[in-house]
Amino acid sequence: MLSDDHLTLERRVTVRIRDGLHARPAAQFVKRARGYAAELWLDHGGRSASAKNAVKLMLLAVKENAEIVLRAEGADAAAALDELTRFLETEDEGTASPLAAAASHDAAPPGDKGTTAPLATAARRGIGASPGVALGPAFRYFPETLEPPHHHVPDAARPAEAARYAAAAERAAAALGQCAALAPESDDAPIGGIAAALVEIVRDADLDAAIRLRIAEGMDAVTAVLDAGGELAATFAGLSDAYMQARAEDVLSVSRAIALACLGRQDPSIATIAEGAIIIADELTAWDLARAPGARIGGIVCARGAATAHAAIIARTRGIPAVFGIAGLEQVADGAMIGLDGSSGEVVIDPDAETLSALRARARGESAARDALAAFRDVAPRTRAGEAIVIAANLGSVGEIGVARQEGAMGIGLFRTELLFIEARRPLDEDEQVAAYARLATAFPDHHVTIRTLDVGGDKPVPGIDIPDEDNPFLGWRGLRYCLDRPELFAVQLRALLRAAVHGNLRIMLPMVSDPDELRRTRALIETCRAALAAAGVPHAVPPLGIMIETPAAALMADSLAAEVAFFSIGTNDLTQYIMAADRMNPRVSGLNRPDHPAVMRAIEMVAAAGRRAGIPVCMCGEAAARPDLIPRFVQLGLTELSMTPAAVLRAKEVVTQI
């Protein structure tokens, strides 16, 4: 089976854990699974469960010696399967053997990591969350577990308990507000934006209401905060998008901070860390790192965490090597020498002389590779024949702007607006959307910013937007189909886009187009919005309108559609799934779900040819756009823009210059 970032990989495994996946090993299994950005499933007895949900795993009743199927989809899918397979095949609940294969997050510098020799037989392997090699003394950071006291508050004392909570929330918000002010978001540093986002969680109206309701019912403030925060975190953790899942950690860290403020306590500070020391912790949150002296931190090693967590983003932004998913850190003594490689995920405690030498050699090689790719940051790449190719970024949050710019992205080829709604847990109003879109436009004044209209339905439930259950949601009421049937929702977004267009080079992109009539209906609604804004004297502009090519109908009708739009953008994820009639979530047909399949490549060729005949640019915003083996083929077919995760931009630029 091909190892593609968005193929579903699968592996058959015989479970050797003594007594099977009961409570304790299930929890350990989930802890490992949650360390990966990949979507992970375990199939057994005709049923399937997320590998990141301990309760559902236990309900599968997987016994010792049972044969199961592990499935994984994502950039680190292969590494996730390696580690989880090793865990399941270890008799003593997966704890007798060290963590298995190394995982490389896509932010790590590219290179042939498969040829890198292991540091030492004693090296532990986890998830490479932030690239770089570090060597330094351990700085232990293990805050005490915070248990809810479950005190019953009598009626007369409840107003005072609510006031205690309110004062604690204000103190927590003020502390983070200072972090945001001291580290404002800039072109290359989203740290201030992350701190500001945490303040928004503290001040979230729904969370506040949930806490106050619990207090009004007799719950003490600390228990109310932890209970409501845990419920909200579970909502985020249950979403399908890896980035949104990682927001659960933010909610829990904010809840802890408020609860501690209620108690008049605070966690131990990282501020006393020695220059070059390596933080070892069970888990670091964005709250922890936003207030930490980043310049003094040599590296980070945690037992838990995901490469999509805000703590990982801060580490990458500050250039701090980090590895997550390393067990047994509680036993490491303060000051013990720690060596780590954030690209390969390797960690060595008390390395010997030979390992020290290997670490230093890796550091030199890593520095050279980083310097080589950094040369492409401001490059507008051209092939050797002189053809210019735009390398843009796919984003789902305005907080990712700094990372995209730091990685040299030439604008935004896909901004997923539904993630704004999911993060807010409600539909955003017009002014809120204008603010977000305008911020994106001004961040890339020399390049276009492509905003995809709401792509809800399918696997994207959005709080506050009612989408009924369907037998086959991927063939149902989703994307543009849904928006055209909900003009009161769609018009708000279109007005916001027209208003934001005065701030930069915005483009509007429509998802799930299947028929030219959908375009005509959208244009009519845009004209209605334009006329209303003009009548009200509101500054606005009408951006170029393009479509995603992700249905077979759109590919087959590309010539007709090209006459109606300013650009095409090929979404390879859905296009592959629909052309091959192969659900990428179904392991039995995952071998068909390949963007390099001749049928899919033929469709891409048809679309590119239609674009050339109509004189419009043809872009690609599916994950296949980042594959070094496919980029030359896409360029040969006539694609002029490739958009991808920010971490893949520099490598893609380098590939283009070698075509």
- CB atoms closer than 10 angstroms to residue 269: 12
Residues 125 and 164 in one domain: no
- pLDDT confidence of residue 5: 53
Catalytic one among 6, 105, 310, 447? 310
- pLDDT confidence of residue 57: 72
Residues 313 and 248 in one domain: no
Residue the block writes with tokens 């990282």: 270
Residue 179 a catalytic site member:
no
CATH number of domain containing 166: 1.10.274.10
Residues 119 and 187 in one domain: no
> Mind listing the pLDDT tens digit for each residue in 476-506?
777 898 899 989 999 999 999 999 999 999 9
Residues 293 and 397 in one domain: no
Residues 617 and 505 in one domain: yes
> Mind listing the pLDDT tens digit for each residue in 259-282?
989 998 877 778 889 999 999 999
- pLDDT confidence of residue 469: 67
The Cα–Cα gap between 247 and 381 comes to 35
Q: How much of the chain exceeds pLDDT 70, in percent?
A: 83
Cα Dmax for the chain? 80
Residues 247 and 277 in one domain: no
Give, in order, the Cα–Cα distances in Å from 142 to each of 4, 138, 350, 431.
Answer: 38, 12, 20, 42
Residues 515 and 635 in one domain: yes
pLDDT at residue 594 above 50? yes
Question: Mean pLDDT, to the nearest integer, of 608-632?
Answer: 92
Residues 76 and 220 in one domain: no
- pLDDT confidence of residue 269: 78
- Dihedral pair phi/psi, residue 267, rounded to 5°: -70, 155
Task: Dig out the tokens for 551 from the structure.
Answer: 């249905």
Q: How many domains does the chain have?
A: 4
Residues 357 and 421 in one domain: no
Q: Which of 263, 284, 306 is the last residue of a domain?
A: 263
Q: Are 79 and 101 contacting, i.e. CB atoms less than 8 angstroms apart?
A: yes
Residue 310 a catalytic site member:
yes
Which structural domain, as residue segments, surrounds residue 180?
A: 155-263
